[in-house]
Structure 1
Amino acid sequence: MMRHSLLTTFLIVLIIPICSTGSALTPANPKAAKITEELINKICTTTRNPSLCLHNLKPLKGNSLLPNPVAALGTSSINQALSQGNATAAMIWALYRAIEKPGARSKLRLRYYTCFVKYTDTMKHLKEAKKFVVPGNAKSVKNHMLVAVNRVDLCDDELMKASSSEASSLLEANGKLKDICSVIVAICNKVNT
Structure 2
Amino acid sequence: MLQIKNLQKVFNKDTVNEKTVFKNLNFHINKGDFITIVGSNGAGKSSLLNLISGSLLPDSGSINLNGRDISKLLEYKRTKFIGRVFQNPALGTSPSMTILENLSMAYNKGKKFGLSSGICKKNTGFFKEILSNLSLGLEDNLNTKVGLLSGGQRQALSLLISTISNPDLLLLDEHTAALDPKTSETIIELNKKNYS
TM-score by length of 2: 0.26
- Structure with bigger strand share is 2
Structure with higher RCO (Cα < 8 A, 6+ apart): 1
TM-score by length of 1: 0.26
